[in-house]
Amino acid sequence: MPTVRRQVALDTETTGMFADRGDRLISVGCVEIEERKLTKRTFYQLINPEREVDEEAARIHGYTWDKLKGQPLFEDIVDDFLAFIKGSELLIHNAEFDVGFLDMELGRLGRGKLADYCVNIVDTLQLAKTLRPGQRNNLDALCSSYGVNNTDRTLHGALIDAQLLAQVYLAMTRGQESLDIASVDVSTLPPMPKDTSVLRVVSASDEELAAHAETMAKIDKESKGQTVWTTAD
């Protein structure tokens, strides 16, 4: 499958936990990734939720009704938001939660569902569980495991969480882009000689062998000893 060129890491904050019980969005943050590189393009907006914020939610993100009542409504910012994510692959941690709220807000305006505006939605929590079974996979734990600096994250925030998620995702999937064999244009490769007996076998130098061993050791360290060549009998 060809690599998606444009991805958007996305996060939201809300008045509470339940989109189907009257809770609303209070912010949405997006960070653009182009061909596996972070660009400087972001989208961030605080939103007037038209209701009070639950105390527990306010403790998590720090926003109360007094801080939000002067912000624009979701209907006022929806066009800019959809224009930013249009045609991208969305990266969302615990996607069911954020998608549920965004689908609710879009539905209130008769604007369909989030999936109508993007090519795909990747739940990075499920991806992390696949890559790291049995381990803690919240955003803070992933930042710690992959060396992403999250010291500025004293409270949850849609933009900072999207920025951290983008970095974590790139770290989690590092190297996968080079394994996309299906994207290789075989017509550009040189032809094999008909007589394979003339092929010359070139042995690696001592320096190349040492560099290879160092690379394998780094990979093994990052995988915490779970590489095939160390676990196989």
Q: Which of 53, 48, 8 is nearest to 29 (CA)?
A: 8
Would you call 156 a catalytic residue per the annotation?
A: yes
> Alpha-carbon distance 169 to 96, whole Å?
17
Tokens 């879009």 -> residue: 106
Q: 26-44 burial, b if ≥16 CB within 10 A, otherwise e?
A: bbbbbbbbeeeeeeeebbb
Residue matched to tokens 């549920």: 100
Active-site pick, 61, 93, 156, 212: 156
Nearest by Cα to 82 from 35, 118, 122, 31: 118
Are 132 and 145 in contact, with CB atoms under 8 Å apart? yes
Specify the DSSP element, H or E, that contains 45. Answer: strand 37-46
Please identify every residue annotated as catalytic: 156
